Amino acid sequence: MKALEIVGHKNSGKTTLVEYFVERFSRDGFRVAAVKHIHHQFTIDTENKDTWRMARRGAWLVASVSPNETAVMFHAMNEWENSLNRLQRIMYDEKVDVAVFEGFHMVLGGREDVYKIITVKNSHEIAFFLNSLKPPILAVVNISGEIVQNLPVPLYVPPLSEELYLHTRRGLQLV
Whether residue 115 is contained in a domain is answered as: yes
Query: Residues 137-174: pLDDT tens digits?
Result: 999 999 999 889 999 999 999 999 999 999 999 999 99
Whether residue 52 is contained in a domain is answered as: no
Whether residue 49 is contained in a domain is answered as: no
Beta bridge partners of 118: 7, 140
Query: Residues 69-89: pLDDT tens digits?
Result: 888 888 766 666 777 888 899
Whether residue 73 is contained in a domain is answered as: no
2, pLDDT greater than 90: yes
Question: Which range among 21-25, 51-55, 151-155 shows the weakest confidence by mean pLDDT?
Answer: 51-55
Q: For position 9, what pLDDT does the model report?
A: 95
d(Cα 85, Cα 30) in Å, to the nearest integer?
Answer: 21
55, pLDDT greater than 90: no
Whether residue 9 is contained in a domain is answered as: yes
Whether residue 165 is contained in a domain is answered as: yes
Q: What is the pTM of this model?
A: 0.87
Average pLDDT of the chain to the nearest whole number = 91
Q: Closest Cα partner for 44 from 63, 20, 21?
A: 63
Whether residue 26 is contained in a domain is answered as: yes
> How many domains are there within the chain?
1
CATH code, domain with 8: 3.40.50.300
Whether residue 54 is contained in a domain is answered as: no
Q: For position 61, what pLDDT does the model report?
A: 84
Structural domain boundaries enclosing 31: 2-42+78-171
